[in-house]
Amino acid sequence: MTVVIRQPGVVLTDHLFQVPLDHAAPQGEQIEVYAREVVAVGKERSDLPWLLYLQGGPGGRAARPLGRDSWLDRALDDYRVLLLDQRGTGRSTPATRQTLPLRGGAAEQAEYLSYFRADSIVRDAELIRRQLLGEQGQWSLLGQSFGGFCTLTYLSLAPEGLREALITGGLAGLRSSATDVYRAAYPRVAHKNAAHYARYPQDVEAVRRVVEHLAVAPAQLPGGGLLTVTAFQSLGLMLGSGSGSDSLHYLLEDAWVRGSAGLELSDTFLAGAQSKLSFADGPLYAVLHESIYGQRSVDPGPTGWAAEQVRKEFPEFDPVRALEDGTPVRFTGEMIYPWMFETDPALRPLQEAANLLAQRTDWPDLYAPAVLAANQVPVAAAVYHDDMYVDTADSLATADAVRGLRTWVTNEWEHDGLRVSGGQVLDRLIRMVRGQL
């Protein structure tokens, strides 16, 4: 039964699709992929072009709309929008610590999860496109962050399904290995640390106090996780969003409370840290993160916990050294480390499968440079000049490698510009792809 919901200004319609786990074996095991259609009130029966939205991640479900909020307000002026819960997320067949043991042991789980990368997501989208629009129908595509990576895969594998593509903060390096990605990432994260401490110099001492405490006594988080020094450092993931530095500062403001035994880390702080550190609502982000960079033609070897290995090349992120030298303790950024599968209860049961994925070799290529060089689909991309998550140099090199791709390089917004700009980022990209700018 089709479920239709009305919110102020919008009509939402549920869609559920059966897709092959392995698109190379279409008659084999099937999984479900959920998508939510969003259309403006009064336009339900209008012949509108479709816009498929691919969420950031990996492992992030599509945003849940609250009327005409965020970028949707602008999109609904022109499009019928489809919000896709990428396989394994949201209301699609879930892949979590609760469901993956049904596959069997770690080897079976890792094999299953190997079908959850961008190539499979794109093939799911193509199957859905044909069901909704017909064999010859085309839709527009909006890819945010990892969704932009998927857009490049879409342009590589099935450009015939696209009438135009819009990318925000998601031009991946076509020839960058996982090691390359993190070697470029640590200096960007160091820059964000410097900017944070320049804005909030009092946080230098505040962070050192927390680190000194955790070095002696790691703290139990409300959900059962463990806040170690390295886990605390990973709160630096927040520094890549427009308000992330402010939010981190306010979190640190609430760090301490005086209890019966003296000063201790407050429940408010620990709850706030847990909300940022737990992968309970998106375990695939951690499990699959490094595999999204695996391509046999770039590096036939394993990704091998690249963020952990490359970190050794940047001793300035060593908290012990910082404490000894009296220098600011640096936060890390968008890095997934193997210890996360020990400290986070949502990840702990997936540790063996994650290790197997980290050692997997010969990942299929995700991009086709020759196809992209001959691209005929209009593409516009926002490249955030100070993006902490995606390397600007990689993005601009990729822009040069995709025929006809137009870029807008800006430092007005951070990586979350699509969400927080009130439709301004999307509006500019729409006008660019239509040749109005």
pLDDT mean by block of 10 residues, the chain; 437 residues: 89 97 97 98 96 96 94 97 98 97 97 98 98 97 98 98 98 97 98 98 98 97 96 98 97 95 94 97 97 97 98 97 96 98 97 98 96 98 96 97 98 95 97 95
- For residue 381, give the CATH number of its domain: 3.40.50.1820
Among candidate residues 275, 362, 385, 400, the one labeled active-site is 362
Give the range of the structural domain holding residue 341, as residue numbers without chain letter.
178-359
| 289 catalytic per annotation | no
Written as six digits, the tokens of 247 are 């939010």
Same domain, 350 and 217: yes
Is 430 exposed, middle or buried (CB count within 10 Å of its CB: 0-12, 13-18, 19+)? buried
First to last CA, the chain: 44
81 sits in which H/E element? strand 80-85
Same domain, 245 and 353: yes
Q: Are 346 and 224 in contact (CB under 8 A)?
A: no
Place of tokens 């009509």: 11
Same domain, 216 and 313: yes
Type of residue numbered 270: L
For residue 300, CA distances in Å to 197, 288, 292 come to: 40, 17, 14
Same domain, 279 and 391: no
Written as six digits, the tokens of 333 are 């950024």
| 69 catalytic per annotation | no
Among candidate residues 120, 145, 177, 278, the one labeled active-site is 145
**Measured distance CA(204)–CA(326) in Å, rounded:** 10
Same domain, 258 and 353: yes
Count of domains forming the chain = 2
Under DSSP, the state recorded for 294 is: -
Q: Are 52 and 125 in contact (CB under 8 A)?
A: yes
Same domain, 98 and 45: yes
Q: Are 173 and 387 in contact (CB under 8 A)?
A: no
For residue 84, list its beta bridge partners. 35
Written as six digits, the tokens of 320 are 């012990």
CB-based contacts of 150, cutoff 8 Å, min separation 6: 54, 118, 121, 122, 143
Task: State which of 359, 382, 401 marks the end of a domain.
Answer: 359
Task: State which of 327, 359, 391 marks the end of a domain.
Answer: 359
Task: State which of 304, 330, 359 marks the end of a domain.
Answer: 359
| 415 catalytic per annotation | yes
Same domain, 169 and 186: no
**Measured distance CA(213)–CA(215) in Å, rounded:** 5
**Measured distance CA(236)–CA(331) in Å, rounded:** 5
Under DSSP, the state recorded for 98 is: T
Among candidate residues 203, 213, 415, 416, the one labeled active-site is 415
**Measured distance CA(159)–CA(306) in Å, rounded:** 31
Same domain, 9 and 155: yes
Q: Provide the pLDDT for residue 1.
A: 64
Same domain, 207 and 129: no
Tell whether omega for the bond before 283 is within 30 degrees of 0, i.e. cis: no
Same domain, 207 and 240: yes
Please provide the size of the chain in residues: 437
Same domain, 189 and 132: no
Q: Provide the pLDDT for residue 2.
A: 79
Type of residue numbered 17: F
Same domain, 69 and 218: no
